Structure 1
């Protein structure tokens, strides 16, 4: 399944993409529940779905499957994708925990050591940017850089459990794309990454969540980042230093994972600040991250305050 949040009458709605249409899962699940009492109505917001994922996940699968089989009968509960404004898939996840320096070539280009354990930092959901919406070059810095990444979406609460590698993948709900846009001078002013990683409108995320059953192996995915159609980054997730089970095992040592958590897994080599000369995002640019099987996340770049 490909799940989305989309705008309807100025508010976020929970949807799924089937073919070239976006289903209103709240409306369509209500229709399905009339014909099948085992189907539960789905909430308006995806965040509420993750709050009750254990109770609602079977109904989600049934509802999407019913729409796919319905043909024209389901059309009134959907819109053409071309007419829908997609939002960040989860606008307010419980947590966003990012992994730094997870590709050896990226650590090498940055002149930094490979850590013996995953390096983690937090992102705030207020920084999220939907596909097609602008990333801002802040007024206080011109050192705005890109970092294309695979994002893991958590689907089960650990509830105090420390995961082992063998069970970690059972907690993965799906995958998305994240662009960990970074203000480099703020990142390196101190040893903590927080400021440089949390500027306004600096976290492109989306456009969809693809459920784990549709990704044969998340450790065999190409990641490509292009700046104005020129390739900047290209790598495969099989070159990550820490695979997804290791990352989730490590995080669960100290904090509970919750359904709906977003875990960007690190960026490959090819960022701008280590190029000679350095390249930074500027007003008028377009930055795009692509992962086959998930899609393309593309954002214009504008100077803060220009819009």
Structure 2
């Protein structure tokens, strides 16, 4: 099963989608409300609640409310090597890979996240843009890992490579964060640190780039990353933490408008997103309307 967020009859709901496609609507009004619950209460609600949904559904990204999205960097050796290859200040990436303290950075507010089949963006002012296929853990307000999802931590590689201080511009922009399609409950995943991850970029009917890795190559545990994130910071609506990528193309690869990125993580799901330019006009639909704010 997976926990999903969706629209039915012009209203947003939270539900459970079973393997056969059946959707049960939950009593929670939002995913943020669900993530305020302690683990046993959340699990009981997910496993027992819900009436069968019969209306037509439109999937939404599985994040809302005040649930922040954060990400980890240089958690795989391949990522460390790639960052050193692209950067004019390579030493910082070698040092953080071996350091006790991980690299953690803010990635997105909920309203800027795109979901399954929605477009991701590439910055026109970056010479090299890449997808980053990552396992993301979903953490409740108490700091417990309650589920997992897929994150495409889309990155402007040439911008970060120019100067590490440009990281926010390389990582946080319209269409740079895709999450979905839903949240797989943690009790349905045998081992977070033994999951196959595959990614491919489809271009004009062919595979322009593809790769695979396994979370057993993470040099830090998801629990360790969550622990550092929650040091002196609270997340009352929970948090989604992407755990870093072990899949980085060679320097001659550039993600292009018209591509489609497909990421599959064992026991979690498949996330697919078309690519468009990351311009204000192209992603205007992501911006909330202040007139409709509560």
TM-score by length of 2: 0.81
1:268-283 → structure 2 map (5 Å cutoff): 268-269=246-247, 271-272=248-249, 275-276=250-251, 278-283=252-257
Instruction: Decide which of 246, 251, 262 is 1:288's aligned counterpart.
Output: 262
Show the counterpart of 2:158. Answer: 185
2:136 aligned counterpart, secondary structure = strand
In 2 relative to 1, CA 110–227 (structure 1 residues): closer, same or farther, beyond 3 Å? Answer: same
> 2:175 and 2:83 mapped to 1: Cα distance?
24
Aligned-residue Cα RMSD (Å) equals 2.3
Instruction: Decide which of 210, 215, 222 is 1:232's aligned counterpart.
Output: 210
1:99-138 → structure 2 map (5 Å cutoff): 99-111=72-84, 112-113=93-94, 114-116=97-99, 117-125=101-109, 126-138=111-123
Identify the range of structure 1 (282-291 vs 258-267) with the bigger mean alpha-carbon deviation: 258-267
Q: Is the 2:120–2:175 Cα contact (8 Å) retained in structure 1?
A: yes
Show the counterpart of 1:36. Answer: none
The count of aligned residue pairs is 262
Q: Deviations over 1:66-116 (max 9, x none)?
A: xxxxxxxx5xx3148xx5221111134532221100001221133230241
1:1-307 → structure 2 map (5 Å cutoff): 1-18=1-18, 19-25=20-26, 42-53=27-38, 57-63=43-49, 77-79=52-54, 83-111=56-84, 112-113=93-94, 114-116=97-99, 117-125=101-109, 126-158=111-143, 171-192=144-165, 193-228=167-202, 229-258=207-236, 260-269=238-247, 271-272=248-249, 275-276=250-251, 278-303=252-277, 304=279, 305=281
Q: Is the 2:157–2:170 Cα contact (8 Å) retained in structure 1?
A: yes
1:213 aligned counterpart, secondary structure = helix
Q: Deviations over 1:216-269 (max 9, x none)?
A: 000000111110145523111001011112212222333235553101000003
List gaps (5 residues or longer) in structure 1. 26-41, 65-73, 159-170
Identify the range of structure 1 (201-210 vs 16-25) with the bigger mean alpha-carbon deviation: 16-25
In 2 relative to 1, CA 300–199 (structure 1 residues): closer, same or farther, beyond 3 Å? Answer: same
Q: Is the 1:96–1:124 Cα contact (8 Å) retained in structure 2?
A: yes
TM-score by length of 1: 0.77
> 1:172 and 1:187 mapped to 2: Cα distance?
30
List gaps (5 residues or longer) in structure 2. 85-92, 284-294
